[in-house]
């Protein structure tokens, strides 16, 4: 891979309105910094306020106490705060989500690992072998992989871990005649719809249910319906787009970057691998490669692993690959550093996205927005209430993308309101997780979205152009499910 990251420019290639718009649309870095400035401006307008916090043993974190909201001394964010926010975004701890530096370092270690594996030639030869094996059956890769990612999303909240899979899947989808958007969609939408329809996800359903004071199994059937129905909708949408691109590459959302992406994701000597067969060393490297990801999934799902553990795994695996391939110290270190360099832009954008949350917390406006939202639901009918809950959570998800963070912030305040509206608290939990999952398919403050698009070299405006019809369909589907939930 080259060291350039086309996360927001998309200026190479053909003519047309799409190319022109993509060329002038700001980069992800500019969008995120503009959002930091906007949120900082809001801290001068929105009154500062806070709820009292108390430790919740079930959740394991401090949660807001209903009825304790009070105005506090304002702390409007100025120019210095805006400039410090991206830096603070990397390391500033808070109650809602992990430090961005953890995710950024994880991304760099993934890059180093992939650089070492790519240096062995195993990936290029493996892709060529896979193309020969899948010829005529390429389209079935989409539903199979999206289902697997959805399982990860619904069971353990697969999110940051998906960043490791883009560099594997994108070369395959492009070599198969699809585009980078298809590869990004398989991963981001696949895992995202799983989180949207979380069933036993401890970072969404379990924490939210505990904060709401109900068992996490309440509402499980409705969430299963949402998961299965949503997954089928998303698979059909992505398969339809992929088939259109394969039949006519000019219909790709990123058609203007076709040649550039082929150079970036596929080896310049890819044709030399067309008839190549894997050597014994390369087969072992690919086994190590696959085993590393399998161990990562096992560690996250059952051993409470987080970024440090996963980063150590990829670093250790890169050392093993270097020894197996007998690369030598200089070749190994060069390959590792070059691989990390390829993903440096992704690591930087993660800290920038986190800076928006820092400004909001330092400006003390999160609780005020929550208080206003809760006050606006008084006296509504059951259906109007639950749909209001959904849209409140949609709005809040843009500022608090973390599923666990949003649950801890909003559920203690919003869930008890369901008792007055004659709605089950489990339905409020379902509204929260579906709203958060929906927004996090496009959320510019969510490192997983911005990082995935950066790795895939898909400009943010191109992603919106691709996904907006699906968002409309999913929104109607979710609102229908929530409405039915008030009747059963």
pLDDT band at 25; cut points 50, 70, 90: low
Is 391 a member of any domain?
Answer: yes
Query: If we measure between CA atoms, which residue out of 313, 350, 328, 404 comes closest to residue 102?
Result: 350
Q: Give tens-digit pLDDT for 89-112.
A: 777 555 344 566 777 888 788 888
Is 7 a member of any domain?
Answer: no
Measure the CA–CA gap between 258 and 274, rounded to whole angstroms. 20
Is 371 a member of any domain?
Answer: yes
Query: If we measure between CA atoms, which residue out of 150, 256, 187, 203 comes closest to residue 436?
Result: 203
Predicted pLDDT at 390: 96
DSSP per position, 272-340: GGTT----HHHHHHHHHHHHHHHHHHHHHHHS---HHHHHHHHHHHHHHHHHHTT--HHHHHHHHHHHH
Counting the structural domains of the chain, the total is 1
Answer whether residue 16 shows pLDDT above 80. no
In terms of phi and psi (left: phi > 0; alpha: psi -120 to 50; beta: otherwise), the region of 121 is: left
pLDDT band at 143; cut points 50, 70, 90: very high
Share of the chain above pLDDT 70, in %: 88
pLDDT band at 384; cut points 50, 70, 90: very high
Q: Give tens-digit pLDDT for 147-185.
A: 988 988 898 777 877 887 887 788 888 888 899 999 999
Is 129 a member of any domain?
Answer: yes
Q: Give tens-digit pLDDT for 395-453.
A: 988 888 878 778 888 888 888 888 878 889 999 999 999 999 999 999 988 888 988 99
Q: Residue 275 is part of which domain span?
A: 17-64+76-485
Predicted pLDDT at 231: 97
Is 37 a member of any domain?
Answer: yes
pLDDT averaged over every residue in the chain? 83
DSSP per position, 379-447: T--HHHHHHHHHHHHHHHHHH---HHHHHHHHHHHHTTHHHHHT--HHHHHHHHHHHHHHHTTT-TT-H
Predicted pLDDT at 276: 62
Is 149 a member of any domain?
Answer: yes
Answer whether residue 356 shows pLDDT above 90. no
Measure the CA–CA gap between 322 and 122, rounded to whole angstroms. 12
Is 2 a member of any domain?
Answer: no
CB 396, CB 410: distance < 8 Å: yes
pLDDT band at 138; cut points 50, 70, 90: confident
DSSP per position, 150-202: HHHHHHH---GGGGGTHHHHHHHHHHTT--HHHHHHHHHHHHHHHHHT-SS-I
86 — phi, psi (to 5°)? -65, -35
C-beta atoms surrounding 473 within 10 Å = 15
Is 69 a member of any domain?
Answer: no
Angle at 81 between CA 75 and CA 82, to 5 degrees: 120
Measure the CA–CA gap between 395 and 1, rounded to whole angstroms. 37
Q: Give tens-digit pLDDT for 297-325.
A: 788 767 878 778 888 999 999 999 999 98
Predicted pLDDT at 26: 73
pLDDT band at 189; cut points 50, 70, 90: very high
pLDDT band at 471; cut points 50, 70, 90: very high
Answer whether residue 8 shows pLDDT above 50. no
């Amino acid at each position: 891979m080259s060291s350039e990251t086309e996360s927001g420019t998309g200026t190479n290639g053909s003519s047309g309105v799409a190319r022109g718009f993509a060329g002038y649309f700001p980069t992800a870095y500019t969008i995120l910094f503009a959002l930091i400035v906007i949120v900082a401006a809001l801290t001068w307008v929105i009154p500062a306020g806070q709820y009292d916090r108390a430790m919740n043993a079930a959740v394991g974190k401090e949660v807001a106490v209903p009825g304790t909201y009070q105005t506090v001394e304002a702390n409007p964010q100025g120019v210095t705060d805006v400039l410090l926010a991206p830096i603070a975004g990397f390391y500033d701890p808070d109650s809602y989500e992990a430090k961005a530096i953890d995710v950024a370092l994880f991304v760099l270690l993934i890059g180093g690992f992939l650089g070492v594996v790519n240096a062995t030639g195993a990936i290029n030869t493996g892709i060529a072998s896979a193309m020969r094996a899948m010829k005529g059956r390429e389209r079935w890769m989409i539903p199979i992989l999206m289902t697997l990612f959805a399982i990860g999303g619904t069971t353990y909240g697969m999110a940051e871990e998906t960043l490791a899979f883009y560099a594997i899947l994108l070369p395959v989808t492009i070599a198969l005649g699809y585009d980078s958007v298809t590869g990004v969609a398989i991963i981001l939408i696949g895992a995202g719809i799983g989180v949207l329809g979380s069933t036993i996800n401890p970072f969404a359903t379990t924490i939210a249910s505990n904060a709401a004071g109900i068992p996490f199994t309440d509402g499980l059937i409705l969430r299963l319906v949402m998961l299965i129905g949503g997954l089928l909708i998303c698979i059909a949408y992505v398969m339809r787009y992929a088939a259109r691109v394969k039949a006519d590459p000019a219909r790709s959302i990123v058609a203007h970057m076709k040649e550039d992406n082929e150079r970036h994701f596929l080896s310049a000597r890819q044709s030399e691998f067309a008839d190549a067969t894997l050597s014994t060393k390369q087969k072992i490297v690919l086994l190590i490669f696959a085993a590393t990801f399998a161990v990562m999934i096992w560690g996250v799902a059952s051993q409470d692993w987080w970024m440090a553990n996963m980063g150590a795994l990829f670093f250790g695996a890169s050392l093993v690959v270097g020894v197996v391939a007998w690369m030598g110290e200089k070749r190994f270190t060069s390959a590792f550093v070059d691989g990390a360099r390829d993903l440096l832009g992704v690591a930087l954008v993660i800290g920038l996205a986190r800076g928006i949350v820092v400004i909001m917390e330092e400006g003390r406006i999160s609780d005020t927005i929550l208080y206003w939202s809760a006050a606006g639901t008084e006296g509504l009918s059951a259906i109007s209430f639950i749909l209001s809950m959904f849209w409140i959570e949609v709005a809040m998800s843009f500022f608090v993308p973390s599923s666990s963070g949003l649950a801890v912030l909003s559920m203690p305040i919003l869930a008890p309101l369901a008792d007055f509206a004659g709605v089950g608290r489990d339905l409020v939990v379902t509204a929260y997780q579906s709203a958060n999952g929906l927004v996090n398919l496009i959320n510019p403050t969510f490192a997983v979205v911005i990082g995935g698009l950066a790795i895939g070299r898909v400009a943010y405006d191109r992603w919106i152009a691709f996904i907006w019809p699906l968002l409309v369909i999913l929104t109607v589907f979710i609102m229908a499910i929530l409405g039915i939930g008030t009747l059963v």
